[in-house]
Structure formats: C-alpha cells, structure tokens
Amino acid sequence: MMLNIDNIHTKSIKQSNRSKILNLVYKNRDITKQEIAKVLNLSIPTVISNVNLLIEEGILEESGVAASTGGRKPVIVRLVKDSKYSFGVDISPDETRIILTNLYAEIKADVAFNHLGLKNINDIMGRVEVKINDILDKHKIPKESILGIGFSLPGIVNEELLYLENAPNIGIKDVNFSVFQKRLGIKIYIENDGNTAALAESVIGIAKSKSNLVYLQITEGIGAGIVINGHLYRGQNKKAGEIGHMRISDEGLICNCGRTGCWELYASEKALLRIYNDRADSKVQDLEGLFEKYFESDKLAKDSVNRYLDHLVIGIQNIILAFAPEYVIIGGKISCYEDVLLEPLTKRVLQESIFLDRYNTQIIFSRLKQNASILGSALLPLKELFK
C-alpha cells in the first residue's frame, strides 16, 4: 500500500488553518473574517471556507457587522461558547470535585463528594460517572457536546498511556484510565495536578504572557508544574515536578515516598498545621482555624507561620537556582493568605545574592486559587480542540 503524502500534507494544512482560526477567535472574542485573514496571512477564500465549516459545526457564529472601510461591511464572527463543554475532575485525599466548563472555561456546574468511605478507585469512578450523568441530565446537554473529561491527579502520570503510576498521598497506584474511558463513553485525559494548575495559570490565569514558570501546588503535599518556553516539561520518565520530595532536612521525619527530610514534610499545608499543633494546647483542624488565630495576634500562630516560611523559602530558592523562571506561582489553599505571606516570603527568598534577585524572578500567588488544578484539568480536552 502506498502512502499518499500529498493528501496527508493537505489535511495537515487544513487542520493547522482551522486551529489557528479558532485560537485567534478565542483570543479576540469578536473578530472579522478580513482581520483573521490579515493576522494569519491567509487568503479570504481560505478563511471563509474554514469559518463556514466551523459555523456548520455550531462552534462559530456570525455576530453582526463592523464599520465599513469602503465596500461591503465586514462580518464579525465569534465562538459559540456553550456549543461544546468539558469536564474537569480533581481527586484529592479526602474529596473528589467535578466541574463542567464551556469553551471559555467558565464553570457551569460544580459538585463534590467525600470519598473517605469508598474502598478503591473503582468506587470513586463509579460515583464520578453518576455525578457526570446527573450534570448532563440537569443541564440537558447531550454527550456529543462533551469534548472530554480531564483528570487532575496528585501523582506520577503517563498522560499518553492514560496510566497513573503512583499517587501516594491518595493511596492509589497502577490505574489504567482507559478502562474508565470505555465505561464512561467520553474521551478521558489525565495529568499531574501540578501540571494542570500550571496549564491553567498559563492559559487563563496570571501568567498568560509568560513562557517560563514554575507553579507550586501546595496542598497535603507539594507538587510542581514546570513550563519552559511555553510547554509543560514532564521529563523523560514523566516524573518531573515531584519537587516536594527534594531533601531539605536531616531530621528523621519519614515521608510517604519512603525517604526522610522531604520538603513537603515541612512546607505543605499539612506541615503548617503540624508545626502549630505540635506545640498547641488547643489543636486546629484546618488553615482557616490557624489563620483565624493568626489574625487574633496569637503568638504561637504567628511563630508557626514564621517557622513555616523558613522551610518554604529553602525550596523556592532551590527552584529558582535550578530553573531561573520568570515566575514562581504559589497555589493551593495557602494562596488565599497572600496578604499575610507574600511580602515576608519575597523578602526572604529574593535576598541579596548574585543568583537571587527580584528583577529576574517574581514570586506571585495564584489568581485561580484552589480552582487552578481543576480548571487546568478541564482545559485538557479544550487543548485538543484548539491545538
């Protein structure tokens, strides 16, 4: 059998033109066909042909006319933002959260369930299936309008094989998500939670114009999403970003990875609570409780936050020395306390050094807060449409 190279080349060009047009319309919201042709250096007939096909598919629509510069008034086109949808699923140690988003990543539905009583990943996925079908029924959305389901997972992921190798913080390993893809009847995408959060910040968040960044996902553990030249860096073994397991201490605290002294033992959300509760007569259960005491000028709470920052600083300085990113973005629940943490953290991290200065790397807190990783997971199917 001979391969028709000309046909493959033509198909590739058509797909490229389609994607370029979609991305430009997405970026500009409203744009004329003439403007599309000018920006993308395409002929008017090529633009009209592609736009008409996208209108037939229901993805684009005409939305009026622009002022004439002589001759016929140019027609404006835009995305039909509710023509297609995407699900994002975030599985954490205690809870599974599911969102439905449209083409502009606007959240249309948001549900969660506690899965502590569920025995295994099959039970969790069974509940996910029920919740997704409930959302589709409630919003009267056919399955054909769903581009896919993106999963944000706190562990080592092979996104190409749909395989979760190990997620120690939720006690799950060796999971083949292609089984669930067949079961749900919707295309599935999986990714590490640090990577999905980094994706969200670089596409719809605070770092849209930056091509080099490290996103720190600070939850029960610490993960990272690394973006280099606008692309997620996963490493040759898909394990890049497990930055919470760099060793920063000779103390004997044992990590669930099997080693001692890992950064997440000292700088995660769980670590901050432990630093306080180890010395407190009255324990706190969550960050809200701890910072409530902090704002009441509780001496132990203030001292605990100060000690926590000492540990957080060590890891961030190592990240800057290793990657020299434009941004280090801090996400997770801890990002809700930016007003308290940003100034002292920046001052300590970017101290006087020939390698550490505030003019080359900026420390910022996530604009998307706790939504970063789940919005990133919902973006995974959208990336396929806009790629």
If asked whether residues 271 and 158 sit together in one domain, one would say no
Is the residue at 21 inside a domain? yes
Is the residue at 146 inside a domain? yes
> Is residue 131 over pLDDT 60?
yes
Last residue in a domain, options 29, 45, 79:
79
If asked whether residues 134 and 235 sit together in one domain, one would say no
Give the pLDDT band (50/70/90) at residue 81: very high
Last residue in a domain, options 56, 79, 102:
79
pLDDT tens profile 237-278: 888 888 999 999 998 899 988 899 999 999 999 999 999 999
Give the DSSP H/E element, type plus range, for residue 375.
helix 372-386
If asked whether residues 229 and 259 sit together in one domain, one would say yes
Is the residue at 53 inside a domain? yes
If asked whether residues 220 and 350 sit together in one domain, one would say yes
Determine contact, residues 178/158, Cβ cutoff 8 Å: no
> Is residue 8 over pLDDT 70?
no
If asked whether residues 216 and 356 sit together in one domain, one would say yes
If asked whether residues 138 and 31 sit together in one domain, one would say no
Is the residue at 356 inside a domain? yes
- Structure confidence at residue 70 (pLDDT): 65
Q: Which DSSP letter does residue 243 get? A: G
Q: Residue 65 maps to which CATH number?
A: 1.10.10.10
If asked whether residues 220 and 193 sit together in one domain, one would say no
- The residue among 361, 363, 261, 255 whose CA lies nearest residue 311 is 261
Is the residue at 203 inside a domain? no
Q: Tell me the backbone φ, ψ of residue 102, rounded to 5 degrees.
A: -95, -170
> Is residue 329 over pLDDT 90?
yes
If asked whether residues 26 and 75 sit together in one domain, one would say yes
Is the residue at 202 inside a domain? no
If asked whether residues 321 and 231 sit together in one domain, one would say yes
If asked whether residues 232 and 362 sit together in one domain, one would say yes
The total of structural domains in the chain comes to: 3
SS3 percent helix, strand, coil of the chain, rounded to 5, is 45, 25, 35
Give the pLDDT band (50/70/90) at residue 10: low
> Is residue 3 over pLDDT 50?
no
Rounded CA-CA distance 375/108 in Å is: 12
Q: What is the largest CA-CA distance in the chain?
A: 79
If asked whether residues 135 and 30 sit together in one domain, one would say no
Global pTM value: 0.86
If asked whether residues 301 and 190 sit together in one domain, one would say no
Last residue in a domain, options 47, 79, 111:
79
Q: Residue 188 maps to which CATH number?
A: 3.30.420.40
One-letter-per-residue 3-state SS of 54-89: HHHCCCEEEEEECCCCCCCCCEEEEECCCCCEEEEE
Is the residue at 70 inside a domain? yes
Q: What is the mean pLDDT of the chain?
A: 90
Give the pLDDT band (50/70/90) at residue 67: confident
Rg (CA), the chain: 23
pLDDT tens profile 188-224: 999 999 999 999 998 888 887 678 899 999 988 899 9
Is the residue at 354 inside a domain? yes
What is the domain extent for residue 20? Answer: 5-79
- Structure confidence at residue 148 (pLDDT): 97
pLDDT tens profile 26-55: 989 899 999 999 999 999 999 999 999 999
For residues 292 and 13, the model is more confident at: 292
